[in-house]
Structure 1
Amino acid sequence: MRIGILTAGGDCPGLNAVIRSVVHRAMTGYGDEVIGFEDGFKGLLEGHYRTLDLNAVSGILARGGTILGSARLERSRLREAAETSAELARKYGLDALVPVGGEGTLTAARMLSDAGMPVVGVPKTIDNDISSTDRTFGFDTAVMVATEAIDRLKTTAESHQRVMVVEVMGRHAGWIALESGMAGGAHGICLPERPFQVEDLVKMVEERFARGKKFAVICVAEGAHPAEGSMVYKKGEIDQYGHERFTGIGTRLAAELERRMGKEARPVILGHVQRGGTPTAYDRVLANRFGWHAVEAVHRGEFGRMTALRGTEVVTVPLAEAVTRLKTVPEHRVREAESVF
């Protein structure tokens, strides 16, 4: 068989581990040929690809990013890929395509599958917001990076009697903020799923200072927003890929807290550092397992599906099920976090 693989959307730790796993399982297990399309669906449309053999993937297990590159495409070009999917499969002699990506990539994968391309998807996102899978690789690494940042910021916040507002990634789902906030012992966590009251944060900080704990760390997801009337807040515009451009809630919240309390508040925007660097052992193992099971699914003819973690087992689920809705933080998880502030 000839299997194509591509990585699309935002990068995250573990992508290279998936690529390596697919190549190893396909070549050593079945004698397949594997080609990698460069820069995601752009490479598929424009014919930019290269052969991947064991030498090509040697030494990439622990490397961050993706050796194939990644790029986002406008929706019109994704529709173009879907409309010509059967032709593209014939052009490249593909028996299967393994797209690795998040919600947008998997939605495009479903479009290709519905149009006749034999597809097995692999879920990827540091946000952990893809439904139908308990975890996605990249998430554990992002939480580790954010937790370490909170640990480090606590000591400098205490030394200078400051309030630190740490902004982490998470557009529509606050999993990184929730778990890094809990692991790092943040004193407040703000999530996209629940609009926050600035008054509650002010009260928390003032009470800490009154008890002699003259510092605080608040972990806020980039997609978090205040409750209506809590503070002046303007949503960002929608970009060409359909994503909201966030206006820096961490910076704005820090300024608002400082204005109301007269205490120094500093924003810390972690940004893309959460996506880069070496994946954790957990993410490497999960990425390896997803790649292995993707090849198995190809050889079973389970197309139009993606790999997923259910408990401790890797299974396949329909792509349609995976992209129907985002997996957001449920209310009971928020209550758990609040109990340890």
Structure 2
Amino acid sequence: MRIGILTGGGDCPGLNAAIRAIVRTCLDGHGSSVVGFHDGWRGLLENSWREMASGSRVDRILSRGGTILGTARVNPDRLTAGLDTIHQNLADNGIDALIPIGGEGTLTAAKWLSDEGVPVVGVPKTIDNDIGGTDYTFGFDTAVSIATDAIDRLHTTAESHRRVMLVEVMGRHAGWIALDAGMATGAHFIAVPERPFDIEEICALISSRFERGDKHVIGVIAEGSAPAAGTMDLRDGGVDEYGHELFTGVAAQMATQIERRTGAEVRTTVLGYVQRGGTPTPFDRILATRLGARAAEAVHRGEFGQMVALRGTEIAMVPLSEAVRELRRVPPARYDEAAAFFG
């Protein structure tokens, strides 16, 4: 067989480990060849690719962050309009099956191509951990580890200056990074997209801590968090060319409100892209390797129209339709577990 692979959407720790596993499993395990398309779906549309080889060169990428194939966001309308081009490029290169590695957008495109007759097996990745059908995605553990280290460091400086520290982390529609990093570091409150926050309740918590003699407050805020209706105005950033909501810095806007309402000194730290850069954790390297290897095996078994997934401790196959049906979001019970330690 001749297998095509691509990495779509944002970069993510563990992508190279998945690429390595796919290449080695296909070449060494089945004698198949592998083509890597450059810059995600753009490479497939523009027929830009490289032949992937096994050996020491691909082995050395296991611990490397980012993606050696590159990635880019492509407007869904361009994919729709380019279906004939995609079919032609796959045929011209003798591609028997495609393994796209990506998040919600990439897997949605994978399902659409699968519905159009392209043999596809998806591999889920996102630091937000919000893909349905799988318990974890690689990249998430690295992001939580980076956020945890940063918040641990902020505790000491916040206490030294008697400050409120707000740490904004990634999480557009799901608050898993904020939840886990906040719990791991003993944050005094956590805001997630799934639970609208009340700024008055947050201010009351902060005032109560200082009144009883505590010296600092740490709040962990997912970038997609929003206030409960009527409690605080949040600037509208509109949407980008791909239809994604543009956020306007919820933590900074919260900081202004907290200072005005409590008189406390507030500082904001936005972790941003540092959360998804650099070396993946051992957990993410192993998970990406297991998912990549299973995807390569699935292609050779003809298990198309599906996505590899972690279920418990085992790698399973789930339909792409299940993976993209809805986002995996923080359930109320998980948030309440963390909230028991607020204040």
Q: Do the aligned residues in 2 keep the contact of 1:86 with 1:116 (CA within 8 Å)?
A: no
Q: Secondary structure at the match of 2:58?
A: coil
- Aligned residue number for residue 307 of structure 2: 306
One-letter amino acid matched to 1:9: G
Counterparts in 2 of 1:339 and 1:83: CA distance versus 1, 3 Å = farther
Q: Secondary structure at the match of 1:36?
A: strand
Q: Do the aligned residues in 2 keep the contact of 1:9 with 1:104 (CA within 8 Å)?
A: yes
- Aligned residue number for residue 251 of structure 1: 252
Equivalent-residue separation in structure 2 for 1:109 and 1:84 (angstroms): 15
- Aligned residue number for residue 340 of structure 1: 341
Deviations 1:138-161 (A, max 9, x none): 000000011111100000000001
- Aligned residue number for residue 33 of structure 1: 33
* Shift in Å, 1:58: 2.9
**Please, which moves more after superposition, 151-160 or 228-237?**
228-237
| C-alpha RMSD of matched pairs (Å) | 1.0
Indicate whether 1:227 and 2:240 are aligned. Answer: no
Equivalent-residue separation in structure 2 for 1:32 and 1:109 (angstroms): 22
Q: Secondary structure at the match of 1:44?
A: helix
Q: Mind listing any 5+ residue stretches in structure 1 that lack a counterpart?
A: none
Equivalent-residue separation in structure 2 for 1:52 and 1:267 (angstroms): 44
- How do 1:1-341 and structure 2 match up within 5 A? 1-55=1-55, 56-341=57-342
One-letter amino acid matched to 2:259: E
Q: Do the aligned residues in 1 keep the contact of 2:142 with 2:284 (CA within 8 Å)?
A: yes
Q: Do the aligned residues in 1 keep the contact of 2:44 with 2:86 (CA within 8 Å)?
A: no
Equivalent-residue separation in structure 1 for 2:232 and 2:72 (angstroms): 36
**Please, which moves more after superposition, 81-90 or 141-150?**
81-90
* Shift in Å, 1:84: 4.1
Q: Do the aligned residues in 1 keep the contact of 2:45 with 2:86 (CA within 8 Å)?
A: no
Deviations 1:32-54 (A, max 9, x none): 10110000000001011001111
Q: TM-score of the superposition, structure 1-length normalised?
A: 0.98
Equivalent-residue separation in structure 2 for 1:91 and 1:264 (angstroms): 62
Equivalent-residue separation in structure 2 for 1:248 and 1:287 (angstroms): 31
Q: Mind listing any 5+ residue stretches in structure 2 that lack a counterpart?
A: none
Equivalent-residue separation in structure 2 for 1:81 and 1:94 (angstroms): 17
* Shift in Å, 1:12: 0.6
Q: Secondary structure at the match of 1:67?
A: coil
Equivalent-residue separation in structure 1 for 2:26 and 2:41 (angstroms): 21
Q: Secondary structure at the match of 2:59?
A: coil
One-letter amino acid matched to 2:99: V
Q: Secondary structure at the match of 1:57?
A: helix
Q: Do the aligned residues in 2 keep the contact of 1:82 with 1:111 (CA within 8 Å)?
A: no
One-letter amino acid matched to 2:202: L
* Shift in Å, 1:242: 1.1
Equivalent-residue separation in structure 1 for 2:89 and 2:81 (angstroms): 11
**Please, which moves more after superposition, 176-185 or 55-64?**
55-64
One-letter amino acid matched to 1:87: Q
Equivalent-residue separation in structure 2 for 1:192 and 1:58 (angstroms): 39
Counterparts in 2 of 1:212 and 1:241: CA distance versus 1, 3 Å = same
One-letter amino acid matched to 1:290: L
Give runs of ≥4 in structure 1 deviating > 4 Å: none
